[in-house]
Amino acid sequence: MINVTYTSSRGKVFNLLSFDSAKLEKADFNKYSWGKEVVSRQFGEIVNRFTKSAQSFDCTFKFKGSQASRKALIEAFNFESEYDICHNAVGRITWGKCYIEGYWISADTTPVDDGGTYTQLTKTFYAPFPFWIEEQKLEIFPSMQGSEDETTKGYVPSENRYGYSYSYGGAPTTIYIDTDHYKDSDFKVIAYGPAPSVEWTIGTNHYKVDYALRDNQYMVIDSRQLTPPDRQLYVANESGAITNVFDYRSSVGDIFKRFPAGKFIFNYPRTYGLQLTLFKERSEPR
């Protein structure tokens, strides 16, 4: 059975397919639509581009058990939903390998006339960013020049990755990556010091931040538009102190340019380690 959970902004997890919390009877998580911007012609239209609006999902839950336990579970669920709303902090629905973030913006609790054995709760989940996200994660360690096994020591996938195709080219700084996806992706890169700067190249775009990292420092580069501005490009010290390094990005390339779909070559010096997460956008979960 597929795993379906809701995690509030405070980290409270509800298993939506278990009567221990709530039983999800029905939901339209696979519903989606694209909008279009067109120019009318005498016959038909010319499509300039496709768009996608924020998405809302209608969900129906069934709570069983004693009246007291049902009341407590529904109150706990709605309490977390209201907390997220009041603090403008997103929660997350996870369906298998994918998740979508947003808020429960409506609720209606209805006693059901069936011997009084369950209570029905209908809620609407509003997702401002209308895509389900499937993450792919990998780690690239500093090059083991002259090692007897460059492939295994130089590039080790994270334990929690969903699968990632990669291989080395003729040089240890050339890495071939296959995202196995149909559209470009936002990314998050964490680079670990020491490093004189952080940089890599994909195609003709050169990603570079001209800021030196010391031991026990790391740099975070997050291309997602919904990421707060002070968390898009910063350096963190061992103490937890954060320095915004947005103004140190190179003017030669676009540091936030999304990674391409399908197969591409990732080049970087490999004198320092990287953790890379790609956020692959999907219209429906899988």
Domains of the chain: 4-130 (2.40.30.200), 133-282 (2.60.120.880)
Q: What was the pLDDT predicted at 169? A: 47
Q: What was the pLDDT predicted at 49? A: 96
Q: What was the pLDDT predicted at 62? A: 86
Q: What was the pLDDT predicted at 175? A: 86
Whether 276 and 198 have beta carbons less than 8 Å apart is answered as no
DSSP for 73-110? HHHHHHHHHHHHHHTT--EEEEETTEEEEEEEEEEEEE
Whether 95 and 132 have beta carbons less than 8 Å apart is answered as yes
Cα–Cα nearest to 252, from 204, 203, 188, 190? 204
Torsional class of 85: left (φ above 0), alpha (ψ -120 to 50), beta (otherwise):
alpha
CA 280 – CA 136 distance, rounded (Å)? 8
With a cut of 70, list the residues of the chain below it in pLDDT.
Answer: 1, 19-22, 113-116, 144-171
Whether 170 and 227 have beta carbons less than 8 Å apart is answered as no
CB count in 10 Å sphere of residue 89: 12
Q: What was the pLDDT predicted at 153? A: 31
pTM reported for the whole predicted model? 0.84
Q: What was the pLDDT predicted at 152? A: 33
Average pLDDT, the chain: 86
HSE of 61, CA atoms in CB hemisphere, 13 A: 29
Own/partner pairs, 80-88, CB within 8 angstroms, 24+ separation: 80/8, 80/10, 80/12, 80/14, 81/8, 81/107, 81/123, 83/8, 83/9, 83/10, 84/8, 84/9, 87/9
Whether 199 and 269 have beta carbons less than 8 Å apart is answered as yes
Whether 107 and 123 have beta carbons less than 8 Å apart is answered as yes
